[in-house]
């Protein structure tokens, strides 16, 4: 669309530009969706969906590794906080009752009930 509506068109399709577009289309879009759909078939969606918060973490780390972008203390602290939150969200539940009724988890079936 931008080819038709934007001025100052970029027509220099160098091998780097074509390679970057192929990487975005094949690796990022196609392969990541294949992995995503495989994961939600194997694991509960509630557990897998929380890991989408790692996307910016991987972007920042790969930017530092591949593009030599600076990894500042603020970026690393933010990444550590996101990682800590992910650990807390996915922490196993305790064995004791966690439902206000004292019957355990609300989705857990209690023997002798329907």
Domain membership of residue 111 (yes or no) is no
Domain membership of residue 103 (yes or no) is no
Residue 45 or residue 98, greater confidence: 45
pTM of this prediction exceeds 0.75 = no
Domain membership of residue 41 (yes or no) is yes
What tens digit of pLDDT does each residue of 95-110 get?
Answer: 655 555 555 555 555 5
Domain membership of residue 9 (yes or no) is no
Structural domain harbouring 64: 15-89
Number of domains in the chain: 1
CB 74 within 8 A of CB 82: no
Tell me what pLDDT residue 93 has: 77
Domain membership of residue 71 (yes or no) is yes
Domain membership of residue 21 (yes or no) is yes
Domain membership of residue 6 (yes or no) is no
Domain membership of residue 2 (yes or no) is no
* Sign of the C-alpha dihedral computed for residues 41, 44, 46 and 47 taken in this order: negative
User: Is a pLDDT exceeding 90 seen at residue 48?
Assistant: no
């Amino acid at each position: 669309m931008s080819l038709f509506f934007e001025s100052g068109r970029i027509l220099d399709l160098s091998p780097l530009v074509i390679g970057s577009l192929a990487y975005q289309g094949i690796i990022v879009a196609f392969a990541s969706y294949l992995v995503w759909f495989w994961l939600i078939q194997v694991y509960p969606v509630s557990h897998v969906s929380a890991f989408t918060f790692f996307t910016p973490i991987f972007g920042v780390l790969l930017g530092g590794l591949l593009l030599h972008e600076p990894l500042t203390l603020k970026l690393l602290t933010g990444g550590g906080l996101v990682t800590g939150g992910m650990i807390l969200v996915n922490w196993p539940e305790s064995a004791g009752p966690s439902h206000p009724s004292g019957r355990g988890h609300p989705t857990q079936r209690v023997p002798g009930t329907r």
